[in-house]
Amino acid sequence: MNPTALRLELRRSRTLLIWLGVVTAAYAGFITVFYTNVVENAEAFEDVLKLYPKELMAAFGIEANFADPGVFLGGYVFNFLWPLIAASAAIVLATRVAADADRGFLDIALSTPIARLSYLSGSIVTQVVGIAMLAVAMVGAILFGDLVIEPNFQTVSVMLSALHAVAFGLAVAGPTTWLAVVLLDRGRAAGIAAGVLVLMYLLNVIGALAPDFEALTALSAFHYFSLKDLINNGTYPVVDSIVFVVVGAAGWALALVAFRQRDLAA
Amino acid sequence: MTEVIEAFGLTKSYGTRRGIVDVDFAVHEGEVFGFLGPNGAGKTTTIRTLLGLLRPTSGRATVFGLDVWAEAPRVHERISFLGSEPGYLGELTAAEQLDYVARLRRLPKRTWHELGERFELDPTVPIKKLSRGNRQKVGVVQAFMGDPQLLILDEPTTGLDPLMQREFLTVLADLRAAGRTVFLSSHNLPEVERRCDRVGIIREGRLTQISTIQTLLAGHWRSVNLVLGQPPATGTFDLPNVEVTSMNARDMHLMVRGDVNPLLQRLAQLDVRDVTITTPEIEDVFLSFYNGTEAVQENMAAEVAR
C-alpha cells in the first residue's frame, strides 16, 4: 500500500467522517441520557408501545419493553442510527474510486509509479479506519451518556458492540467497493448498494411480520445485526461477525482482482 | 537508434466496437513525435494503451523496453502524462494536488514551483474554482515537473491562451533540446509543424502514415505559377511528377508532387520571368489524410492553384 495514497484518502475523508462522527455521537449520547427516564417509566412506555402498530415495532427491531437495555439501544441506536451512518460512510468511501474515474483523476494517479492495487488498498484501509472511528464515536457516546446519568449498561458489552457494528459496516463497504470498481460509475454503484440495503431491510421487516416469509430474513444483513444478546447477556455474535467480515473481505478481494485486470476507459 | 516507445500490431477493441487495429510504430529517443487524427480515430485509445490504462486485445507495446500493461508501474517511473481534460481533486488547491502527484512520482515537495511561476499559476486556489484554462495549466505544470524522460501529451494546449501556448511550446523545445522524448497528440497543427520531428497519422483505428513533416509536405502537390519569356516547346514539362493544369501563352500553372529538382532543371533551360511555388498548408495535408481520398487531395491542389 502506498502511504501517500493512504494519506490523501484519509485527508479527503476527514470532513465526512468528522460530521458523521459528530452526528452519531450527539444522537447516541443524547438518547442514552434518557435511558434512566425510560426505566423509571417502564410501565407507561409499555402502554405507549401497545398503541404502536406491530409493523412499526418490527421495522425498528423493538421486540420487548424499552426498559430492556438491549431493546433500548437496539431500537434507538444500533438498529436505527448505525445502519444509516455505516451505510452512508461505507458507500461514500467505497465509491470514491469511481468518483476519481469520473473526474479523470484516476488517469493521473495511475500514470504515476503507484500500482493499481496500492491505490485501491489505500481506499480500503480508509474505509476500515473510517467505519471503526464512527463505531467508536457511537459506543463512546453511549458509555459517556451512561456515565452522566448512572451506569446501566455493561461497559464491556457496549464496547464489544462496536466490533460487531464495524463488521456490519465492512460487509456493506466490501461489496460496494467491488461494485464501484466494476461499474466505475459512482452514481450507479452507490444507487445499487443503497437499493440492496433497502431491500434487505424490507426482507427483514417482512420476515418479522409474516411467519410464512421468515426464511427470507436469512437473506438480509440486518438479520445478522442484532446486539440485544450482547448488551443483555454479554453473548458476542461471533458467527454473525465472522460472516460480515468474510463478506466484506470477499468484496474487497474481488474488487482488487477486478481493478487490477480491468480497462480504465476514458 | 534507441526506441523509447514501440508498438507491435497493437490492437484494442471494445467488444464489437473498434478501437485501434494493428498499430505499429516506434518513437526514437529524443524526438518529438506528433500523433494526429480526427476525433474517434483512435488517438486516445492508443495513448491509454501506452499508459497501461487499457489492456491490448492483441499485439503489444513497450516503453523503455518494458511491457506497458504487465510492467506499468515501472514504465510510469520514467514518464509523465497530460490529458486534454486533466483530472483533478476538487477538494485540493493546485499546490496540494501538485504536491500530491509529485509525491506519487517520488519527486520532492514543491518541485512544481518554478514551472508554476512560469505558467503564472495561482497555486492557492481550489482547483474546482479555477477556469478551464487555469485547470489546464495545473495539468501542464504537473506533466512537465520533475524532468520526465518521456512525456505523453494528449491535446495539451486545449484551453490555454495564446501566451501560455507559446510558453508551452518553449518548454517543449527546452525538453527536446535536453534530449527528452515527447509523444504529442494534438489538433493544433501549427504546433505540430513547429515542434514535431515526425508525425504518425491515425485514421479509423489504423496508422496510415508515419513520416517527417518535410516528407509529408513534399509528398503532396505543390502549385507552380510560371511567367515565361516565350511559350515552351511541346513536351517541355513531360515529367512523371508534373502536371500542366493550365497554359495561356506565356502564363502557366503546373502541379508538382514530390521532388521538385527535375522541374527546376527544366526551368533553368527556359527564359523564366517569374515563378511562384506554393507549398500546401499542413492543415490541408492532414485534412486530406483525415478524409482519406485522393480526390480530396486533388481538389485541394486545384484550390491552391486558384
Grid cell at residue A38: 425510560
Which of A104, A261, A265 lies at the smallest CB-CB distance from B83? A104
Rounded distance, CA B288 to CA B294, Å? 8
Helices A155-183 and A186-209: crossing angle, nearest 10°? 130
- Is the CB of B76 inside 8 Å of chain A's CB atoms? yes
**Distance from the A53 Cα atom to the nearest Cα atom in chain B, whole angstroms:** 46
Rounded distance, CA B203 to CA B212, Å? 18
Pair (B231, B82) in one structural domain:
no
Condensed to tens digits (0 to 9), the pLDDT of residues B236-257 reads: 899 988 888 888 878 988 888 8
Distance between alpha carbon B94 and the CA centroid of its chain, in Å? Answer: 28
**Residue B300's pLDDT is what?**
44
Strands B32-36 and B198-203: parallel
**Residue A44's pLDDT is what?**
86
**Residue B283's pLDDT is what?**
67
**Residue B296's pLDDT is what?**
43
Which of B86, B89, B105 lies at the smallest CB-CB distance from A112? B105
ipTM of the complex, rounded to two decimals:
0.83
Q: Note whether B87 contacts A108, CB cutoff 8 Å.
A: yes
Mean pLDDT of B88-94: 84
**Residue A39's pLDDT is what?**
86
Q: Which of A31-45, B18-32, B290-304 reaches the highest mean pLDDT?
A: B18-32
Which of B54, B79, B100 lies at the smallest CB-CB distance from A263? B54
Instruction: Collapse the DSSP code of B71 into the 3-class scheme (helix H, G, I; strand E, B; otherwise coil) and give the result.
Output: coil
Pair (B161, B245) in one structural domain:
no
**By CA distance, what is A263's nearest residue in B?**
B54
Q: Please report, for residues A266, B26, B56, the alpha-carbon distance to residue B13 in angstroms, rounded to integers and kept in the order given.
A: 14, 21, 8
Asked which of B156, B180, B215 is the last residue of a domain, the reply is B215
Q: What DSSP line would sit under A192-251, residue for residue?
A: HHHHHHHHHHHHHHHHHH-GGGGGGGGG-GGGG---HHHHHH----HHHHHHHHHHHHHH
Residue B251's domain comprises 218-305
End-to-end CA distance of chain A: 25
Pair (B62, B32) in one structural domain:
yes
pLDDT band at A118 (very low <50, low <70, confident <90, very high): very high
For B281-306, b/e burial (b = at least 16 CB within 10 A) is bbebbbbbbbeeeeeebeebbeebbe
User: What's chain B's average pLDDT?
Assistant: 87
**Distance from the B238 Cα atom to the nearest Cα atom in chain A, whole angstroms:** 53
Structural domain boundaries in chain A? 3-261
**Distance from the B291 Cα atom to the nearest Cα atom in chain A, whole angstroms:** 25
Cell 502524462 -> residue: B81
Rounded distance, CA B167 to CA A202, Å? 61
Strands B79-82 and B58-63: unpaired
Look up residue A128 and give its amino acid.
V
Pair (B246, B278) in one structural domain:
yes
Pair (B200, B233) in one structural domain:
no
- Give chain B's domain count: 2
**Distance from the B196 Cα atom to the nearest Cα atom in chain A, whole angstroms:** 23
**Distance from the A115 Cα atom to the nearest Cα atom in chain B, whole angstroms:** 6
Pair (B211, B236) in one structural domain:
no
Asked which of B159, B186, B215 is the last residue of a domain, the reply is B215
Please report which residue ranges of chain A form alpha helices under DSSP H. 3-33, 35-40, 42-51, 54-59, 69-73, 81-94, 96-102, 105-109, 116-148, 155-183, 186-209, 228-233, 238-261
**Residue B13 bridge partners (DSSP):** B18
**Residue B301's pLDDT is what?**
46
Pair (B156, B204) in one structural domain:
yes
Pair (B118, B240) in one structural domain:
no
**Residue B292's pLDDT is what?**
55
Condensed to tens digits (0 to 9), the pLDDT of residues B221-234 reads: 778 899 999 888 88
Q: What DSSP line would sit under B105-166, residue for residue?
A: TT--TTTTHHHHHHTT--TTSBGGGS-HHHHHHHHHHHHHTT--SEEEEESTTTT--HHHHH
Pair (B173, B240) in one structural domain:
no
Instruction: Collapse the DSSP code of B78 into the 3-class scheme (helix H, G, I; strand E, B; otherwise coil) and give the result.
Output: coil
Q: Are A31 and A76 in contact (CB under 8 A)?
A: yes
User: What's chain A's average pLDDT?
Assistant: 91
Q: Are A45 and A158 in contact (CB under 8 A)?
A: no
Condensed to tens digits (0 to 9), the pLDDT of residues A227-242 reads: 989 998 989 999 999 9
Share of chain B above pLDDT 70, in %: 91
Residues of B in Cβ contact (< 8 Å) with A263:
14, 53-55
Q: Which of A79-88, B86-95, B272-281 reaches the highest mean pLDDT?
A: A79-88
Domain CATH code at residue B298: 3.30.70.250
Pair (B176, B241) in one structural domain:
no
Pair (B198, B233) in one structural domain:
no
Q: Which residues of A touch B (CB under 8 A)?
A: 2, 4-5, 8, 12, 100, 103-116, 261, 263-266
Asked which of B190, B215, B240 is the last residue of a domain, the reply is B215
Condensed to tens digits (0 to 9), the pLDDT of residues A23-60 reads: 999 999 999 998 888 888 888 888 887 787 777 776 66
Cell 520526465 -> residue: B148
Pair (B207, B283) in one structural domain:
no
Domain CATH code at residue B138: 3.40.50.300
**Residue B304's pLDDT is what?**
42
Mean pLDDT of A132-157: 92
pLDDT of residue A122 exceeding 90, the answer is: yes
Condensed to tens digits (0 to 9), the pLDDT of residues B173-216 reads: 999 999 999 999 987 777 787 889 999 999 899 998 898 887 77
Q: Please report, for residues A3, A191, B108, B112, B271, the alpha-carbon distance to residue B142 in angstroms, rounded to integers and kept in the order given.
A: 20, 34, 13, 7, 59
Q: Note whether A107 contacts B101, CB cutoff 8 Å.
A: no
Residue B225: closest CA among B250, B248, B245, B253: B253
